[in-house]
Each structure stands twice: as C-alpha cells, then as structure tokens.
Amino acid sequence: MPRPDGGGLAARARGQGGEVVFWGRGYPGKGEAGEVEAARPIRYSGDGLSQIGDKGRFVLPSEIRKTLRESGDGERVLCLSKHPRWKALVGFGLSRIEELEAELEREERYALDRGHDFDRDLRAQQLYGYSRLPFDDSGRFVMPDRHFRLAGIEERVFFRGMGRSFLIWNPDVLMKMGPGFEEAQEACADLIAQAASGKAKG
C-alpha cells in the first residue's frame, strides 16, 4: 500500500466509530540506519480532513496525533482554543503550556517597545483559556459545543499544521478567507475532492 510520505499521495483511514479522516503531505521522514537523532522541538505540519462521526467525534490526522503524543510524553491530550483573530481553532500539545508565559512576555515587550497598546489581561485569558480534550489511540476526540460555535464548525473540519500549533477550520469558513490563504484553501479543496471520490467509489 502506498505510504503518504509527502510524494503527493494521500491516505484514508476509518476510525472505530465509522469516521473517515483524510490526510495529505507533511509526514516526517526517518533518519539513516544507525543514526541517533537528537531531541527535536515539537512542530506540527501537514493537512487533514475529518468528517464528524458517532457521538460528535472527529479524528485527528495521524501525524498531528503522533506529534501531540510526543508533546505530552505519551499522554493523549489535545489542547484547544479559539484563534485570537480568525474564525478557527488552535490546537497544541501539553508541552506548549510551559511556553505560554514567555510568549505573553514577548508580545507585551514587542508592543511596548513600539508604543502600541497591549491589554495583558485580555491576551492572557486568550492564551490560557484552552480546553484539554482526551483522544483515543485512533485519534478520535469529542469537540465541546462552544468550539463548534466559535469556529462555525458543522459536519467536517480541516486541519492545518503551523509549527508550534495547528489550526482547525470549517472548510466553508476557510474558503472565504482573503489573500494569504490560497495554499491552505487549495489543500483543503484537494482533500474534499479525494473524500468525495472515495465515497463515490464506495
């Protein structure tokens, strides 16, 4: 079976509850035989699409699921919050919690150095107002109702890695975003087409 290793292939998996998740490029490669790799920083990459399944569950793409477990030293926990500007959700693992205070300090220092207003309390409650959601071995997790409302999520979601965290979009919302989102929109459209093709064949 072909491996979705960034060569333009896509993979499809079905969770135990019947959910279907598609994912595309961004899978990490393996080192040379015998090579000992140093500890790497947690970085999320790649794209994925998941249709809502039984009991309102979605499925994390395998790469994001793997990185989340690395972030939590094996703990299966997804941290989820609203993006401060876009109608999307931000996901990250447990290791990033330790970075939030330093991030807050950097943002405040950046604003003050340039004479900009900075509401520390507002930004702090955005950073620390995340939910901790468990997921199972197959990547299934239940999204709280408030996150459905905050991101306008309905029947499916698009995952997009962005380094220290990843985004979760309602595809319809993403498609209405302006300049700068073209590549994400095309990746999302490709996965939607692949999902539709798979259903047609099935």
Q: What is the pTM of this model?
A: 0.74
Please, which pLDDT band fits residue 103 given cuts at 50, 70 and 90?
confident
Q: Which of 135, 131, 176 is nearest to 158 (CA)?
A: 176
List pLDDT tens digits, range 35-67: 434 456 889 999 999 999 988 899 999 999 999
What confidence score (pLDDT) does residue 30 get? 39
What span, in angstroms and rounded, lies between the C-alpha atoms of 54 and 18? 7
16 pLDDT more than 80 = no
Please, which pLDDT band fits residue 201 given cuts at 50, 70 and 90?
low
Which residue is it, tokens 């309905």? 154
Q: Which of 15, 36, 9, 34 is nearest to 190 (CA)?
A: 9
Please, which pLDDT band fits residue 200 given cuts at 50, 70 and 90?
low
162 pLDDT more than 90 = yes
Mean pLDDT (the chain, rounded): 83
What span, in angstroms and rounded, lies between the C-alpha atoms of 55 and 134? 14
Tell me the one-letter amino acid at 28.
P
Is 79 in contact with 127 (CB distance < 8 Å)? Answer: no
* Range 174-181 contact pairs with CB under 8 angstroms and sequence separation of 24 or more: 174/88, 177/86
Cβ neighbours, 10 Å, residue 50: 27
Cβ neighbours, 10 Å, residue 54: 11
What Rg, from alpha-carbon coordinates, does the chain have?
18
Please, which pLDDT band fits residue 98 given cuts at 50, 70 and 90?
confident
